[in-house]
Structure 1
Amino acid sequence: MRGLSWAGLDLERPRIVGVLNVTPDSFYDGGRYIDTGRALEHATKLVVDGADLIEIGGESTRPGAQAVPLEEERRRVIPVVECIARALSVPIAVDTSQPEIMQAAHEAGARVINDVRGFGHPDALATVARLKVSICLMHMRGEPGTMQVQPVYDDVLGEVARYLIDHAEAAQAAGISRPDIAIDPGFGFGKTQLHNLALLRGLDHFSRLGYPLMVGLSRKSLIGALTGRPPGERLAGSLAAACLALESGARLIRTHDAAETRDVIRIWEAARGASPVAA
């Protein structure tokens, strides 16, 4: 995507979004990094391994998860953002739906806000427009606690695309610059595995919408459904999915495994002549 940038990142080449969950109950790494020191240690490793951006989440959005009280989310997230912002130079994203957390995270050093609820809170878009941060709009049907209760679509590709287009236009109407908007079809968020597979097969539909495309399939249930493996054994499947996403035009790969994803990107780039090797 020549000339395209987002969050200060040149997207002519794919970028790695390293996942850092500071929650006790996330589906893969819940409880590992709730201590600020351990969170910084892991963020540093992600960057050394190739992450271009660190995404911090203080609320588990796995299927069936319950909402986290505002002050608890603040307690989990803000000290970690402050610590990482002081120690590392990469952009920091915070995954939140609460305008108060968006504001506090920005003051602590975050430059990107990712909202799995599509900035549906009445004050969310006005907040991020005022802060002049980059955002990622994700599609989710329902809430994490109920999103997997018989989700139904007539045309999952068309409906998810329409949602993202409408929300991106609403963001621009609220004062957010188009180059500051990325989109994410939301694998596993209010979709059956057949829906997820349809999205994977049709990812190029989203890359043609004109916004940077973020894809998060790392260790997710679709990988488990296709391989029969638990989250801790889904690395190979996750890397295969990342390669498919790259082929379909994704430029932001959200992952728990930065080093391995970096290798995938290097091979993918070399195969397309973008990354020369020594003779």
Structure 2
Amino acid sequence: MTEALCQGAPHGRGVGVPAAGTPLVLRGREVGRGPDGALRPVVMAIVNRTTDSFYAPARLTDDDAAIEAAHRAWAEGAQILDVGGVRAGVGPEVDAAQEIARVVPFVARVREEIPDLLVSVDTWRAAVAREAVAAGADLVNDTWAGHDPALVEVAGEAGVGVVCSHTGGAVPRTDPFRVEYPTVDRPGADPRDGLVDDVVATLRAAAARAVACGVPAGSVLVDPTHDFGKNTWHSLHLLRRTAALAGLGHPLLMALSRKDFVGETLGLPPDQRLSGTLAATSLAAWMGASVFRAHDVAATRQVLDMVAAVRDEAPPRAALRGLG
């Protein structure tokens, strides 16, 4: 048996495999490039500095517990840590000063203790983003689609990354109610692709503004933002159309972890949604998503590595079977 047959073909996109995702670059560093030179999807771990996150294990208000979670995420293969100080959904009011107090000192501590772990701050407020970036954050995760238009300007001035999202016009901390998107009647098109058209147009415009504000193009992530301004049917359809979103030319973030569309599809509460999340993750990775926001780092990392191997973008860790 030849060496080429033992090792497999050179890595690259095989027949029938969707195009690879766009690499993410933060502060000049290409994220996800392994020691073997292969580029793999990136895991963004979640630490919520809140008492009311929808998934209880992510509620990490104790400083030591939160930093322990950050160390564990790094050890399990996360390359970005997303730190949030306000529950995304409806809940008690948290003003900017409270959010800064919850998030910024923790960002500084992560930067000091785990210097190679990139830090994202999940906020829609420019004032919070400014303080977090000054403390060492590398990315601003704007999950509310530019509700504060100055936020992207903060990212551009600092040269850090930004997440451009889609909420269908919803305002921060509101739940969707009877949300509708236009249908399409193009020949051969799925009528539900009106949603996809809206998401693509919104993300394209937001990404262009981010670049115009000084954010490097490779540091602009686009996120269809499942569940935000969408019902479960909408979120499932966006997952089917991942390839169209990956074709926008920016790294594609998928925040799928234990979300309501997974739970409603399977009829399960948040603590039982891991299998559904991983199924959705594998589909999105196959179709070109680049970054995955996840509560379950080790499991997500394994799924992404398996998909990368099937896509012929990374070799197996050990390929010994049948070669002895």
- Length-normalised TM-score, structure 2: 0.82
1:4 equivalent in structure 2:
23
Asked if 2 retains the 8 angstrom alpha-carbon contact of 1:183 and 1:211, the reply is: yes
- Match for 2:98: what amino acid? E
1:150 equivalent in structure 2:
178
Point out the more displaced range, 269-278 or 123-132: 269-278
Point out the more displaced range, 203-212 or 136-145: 136-145
Q: Distance in 2 between matches of 1:223 and 1:181?
A: 26
Regions of 4+ moved over 4 Å: none
The alpha-carbon deviation at position 30 of structure 1 amounts to: 6.8
SS in 2 for 1:106: helix
Q: Distance in 1 between matches of 2:176 and 2:91?
A: 11
- Match for 2:157: what amino acid? R
- Greater C-alpha Rg: 2
Point out the more displaced range, 73-82 or 120-129: 120-129
1:198 equivalent in structure 2:
237
Matches for 1:220-259 after TM superposition, within 5 Å: 220-259=259-298
Asked if 2 retains the 8 angstrom alpha-carbon contact of 1:113 and 1:135, the reply is: yes
The alpha-carbon deviation at position 175 of structure 1 amounts to: 2.2
SS in 1 for 2:67: helix
Distance 1:231 1:31, change over 3 A: closer
* Identity level (%): 32
SS in 2 for 1:59: coil
Asked if 2 retains the 8 angstrom alpha-carbon contact of 1:21 and 1:29, the reply is: no
Distance 1:4 1:266, change over 3 A: closer
Larger RCO of the pair (alpha carbons < 8 Å, separation 6+): 2
The alignment covers a number of residue pairs equal to 278
Among candidates 47, 53, 58, match of residue 20 of structure 1 = 47
Matches for 1:103-142 after TM superposition, within 5 Å: 103-141=130-168, 142=170
SS in 1 for 2:46: strand
Query: Are residues 1:73 and 2:73 paired?
Result: no
Among candidates 271, 275, 279, match of residue 315 of structure 2 = 275
Among candidates 25, 28, 44, match of residue 71 of structure 2 = 44
Asked if 1 retains the 8 angstrom alpha-carbon contact of 2:47 and 2:59, the reply is: no
Q: Distance in 1 between matches of 2:57 and 2:102?
A: 13
For structure 1, list consecutive stretches of 5 or more residues without a partner in the other structure: none
Asked if 1 retains the 8 angstrom alpha-carbon contact of 2:46 and 2:58, the reply is: no
Q: Distance in 2 between matches of 1:172 and 1:266?
A: 31
Point out the more displaced range, 266-275 or 190-199: 266-275
The alpha-carbon deviation at position 124 of structure 1 amounts to: 1.7
Asked if 2 retains the 8 angstrom alpha-carbon contact of 1:24 and 1:30, the reply is: no
- Length-normalised TM-score, structure 1: 0.94
RMSD between aligned residues: 1.7
Q: For residues 168-190 of structure 1, what are the alpha-carbon distances to aligned partners after superposition, in whole Å with 9 as ceiling and x for unaligned?
A: 11112222221220100000001
Q: Distance in 2 between matches of 1:265 and 1:187?
A: 19
SS in 2 for 1:16: strand
Q: Distance in 1 between matches of 2:22 and 2:291?
A: 15
Asked if 2 retains the 8 angstrom alpha-carbon contact of 1:115 and 1:138, the reply is: yes
- Match for 2:122: what amino acid? D
SS in 1 for 2:248: coil
The alpha-carbon deviation at position 254 of structure 1 amounts to: 0.9
Asked if 2 retains the 8 angstrom alpha-carbon contact of 1:25 and 1:31, the reply is: no
The alpha-carbon deviation at position 3 of structure 1 amounts to: 7.7
Asked if 2 retains the 8 angstrom alpha-carbon contact of 1:66 and 1:145, the reply is: no
- Match for 1:156: what amino acid? L
The alpha-carbon deviation at position 258 of structure 1 amounts to: 0.4
2:186 equivalent in structure 1:
none
Asked if 1 retains the 8 angstrom alpha-carbon contact of 2:53 and 2:59, the reply is: no
